[in-house]
């Protein structure tokens, strides 16, 4: 049998043994990486996956590695892996969707749209691909196309809360309050505790002069999550809008006890203190805001025109 193998090019026993050992090592590294990923030990998981694919370029392991790169913000490396996956299998819709997500994180909306279109051409009923195409369109400044794509995603999945919320945000940017509120209602019918939807609802209601109802939205968010910065800002501005300056200052002080490194909250309290004729306190808060976030443009102008 050994003679026949030698004559007809069969593998030597030592070659088979080496291949078996490499496969064993690959599996150990891959599943160690999966366990580490599940335990959120991402740096170790990445090392395992990198060593595993050095032995076998297994598509599943490549997917795991790209996911770990994304979670650790190593986006350029993630894209290299995703491009490799797509080159090997142009019909890999999952890799295309992940590539679109990665491009979105890098604000690379042109390539994000290309990935979405390729995914849609392979699976036109993929709601996620249409949703991401909507976000790409928005990133490229095409609000109408963004709404159209989001509508397609919703038509494919009527329980797609993120698509309703995205469409509501886009409609509100176009000052289409009635339509935006309808979509927000859809989101809240799916998830009554959706913080982003509640805050968007509060913002729209505040702009329409419904301060009490807007405040109720902020209160509901804070009941569930006392660390939500945007809820404090919404409620604080509503209080300042009706000249309840002391109450607004107290609210921001309470928030800063929970989040003492939050520049936005110092900035908001500074504005209210300025309105309340406490210029020294306002300057202290604005100085602290700049210390925490030097890139922020902080102006003490006492204006509350963000609604």
- Shared domain for 218 and 250, answered yes or no, is no
238 closest CA partner among 192, 200, 274, 202: 202
Answer yes or no: is 82 within a domain. no
Distance CA 68, CA 46 (A): 6
Please say whether the beta carbons of 63 and 95 come within 8 A.
yes
Answer yes or no: is 46 within a domain. no
With a pLDDT cut of 90, the percent of the chain lying above it is: 87
More confident residue, 307 or 44: 44
Answer yes or no: is 14 within a domain. no
Please say whether the beta carbons of 221 and 233 come within 8 A.
no
The number of domains in the chain is: 2
Distance CA 55, CA 9 (A): 24
Once rounded to an integer, what is the mean pLDDT over residues 46-58?
A: 94
- Shared domain for 272 and 234, answered yes or no, is yes
- Shared domain for 209 and 252, answered yes or no, is no
Distance CA 172, CA 2 (A): 76
Q: Where are the alpha helices (DSSP H) in 89-244?
A: 93-105, 109-122, 127-139, 143-156, 161-173, 177-190, 195-207, 211-224, 229-241
- Shared domain for 247 and 307, answered yes or no, is yes
Give the per-residue pLDDT at 14.
Answer: 63
Answer yes or no: is 190 within a domain. yes
Burial (CB < 10 A; 0-12, 13-18, 19+), residue 60, is exposed
- Shared domain for 195 and 234, answered yes or no, is no
Answer yes or no: is 270 within a domain. yes
Of 225, 241, 273, at which residue does a domain stop? 225
Q: What is the CATH number of the domain that holds 199?
A: 1.25.40.10
Range of the domain at 198: 162-225
Give the per-residue pLDDT at 3.
Answer: 39
Of 171, 196, 225, at which residue does a domain stop? 225
Residue 66 pLDDT exceeds 80? yes
Answer yes or no: is 199 within a domain. yes
- Shared domain for 214 and 237, answered yes or no, is no
Distance CA 149, CA 75 (A): 26
Answer yes or no: is 252 within a domain. yes
Distance CA 62, CA 65 (A): 5
Of 225, 255, 278, at which residue does a domain stop? 225
- Mean pLDDT (the chain) is 92
Answer yes or no: is 274 within a domain. yes
Collect all residues with Cβ–Cβ distance below 8 Å to 33 and sequence separation of at least 6.
44, 45, 46, 47, 48, 49, 52, 61, 64, 65, 68
Give the per-residue pLDDT at 307.
Answer: 37
């Amino acid at each position: 049998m050994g003679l026949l193998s030698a004559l007809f090019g069969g593998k030597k026993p030592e070659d088979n043994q080496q291949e078996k050992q490499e496969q064993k090592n690959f599996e150990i590294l891959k599943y160690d990486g999966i366990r580490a990923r599940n335990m959120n030990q991402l740096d170790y998981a990445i090392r395992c996956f990198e060593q595993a694919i050095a032995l076998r370029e297994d598509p599943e392991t490549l997917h795991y590695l790209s996911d770990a790169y994304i979670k650790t913000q190593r986006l350029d490396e993630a894209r290299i892996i995703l491009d490799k996956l797509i080159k090997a299998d142009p019909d890999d819709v999952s890799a295309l969707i992940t590539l679109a997500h990665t491009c979105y994180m890098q604000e690379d909306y042109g390539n994000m749209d290309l990935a979405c279109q390729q995914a849609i051409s392979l699976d036109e009923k993929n709601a996620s691909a249409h949703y991401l195409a909507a976000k790409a369109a928005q990133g490229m400044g095409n609000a109408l196309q963004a709404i159209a794509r989001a509508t397609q995603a919703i038509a494919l999945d009527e329980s797609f809360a993120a698509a309703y919320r995205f469409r509501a945000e886009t409609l509100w940017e176009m000052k289409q309050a009635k339509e935006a509120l309808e979509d927000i209602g859809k989101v809240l019918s799916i998830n009554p505790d959706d913080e982003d939807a509640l805050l968007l609802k509060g913002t729209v209601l505040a702009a329409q002069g419904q301060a009490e109802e807007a405040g109720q939205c902020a209160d509901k968010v804070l009941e569930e999550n006392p660390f939500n910065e945007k809820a404090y800002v919404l409620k604080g501005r509503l209080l300042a809008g009706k000249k309840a300056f002391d109450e607004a200052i107290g609210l921001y002080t309470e928030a800063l006890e929970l989040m003492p490194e939050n520049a936005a909250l110092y900035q908001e309290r500074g504005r209210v203190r300025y309105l309340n004729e406490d210029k020294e306190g306002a300057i202290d808060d604005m100085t602290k805001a700049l210390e925490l976030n030097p890139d922020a443009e902080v102006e003490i102008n006492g204006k509350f025109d963000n609604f």
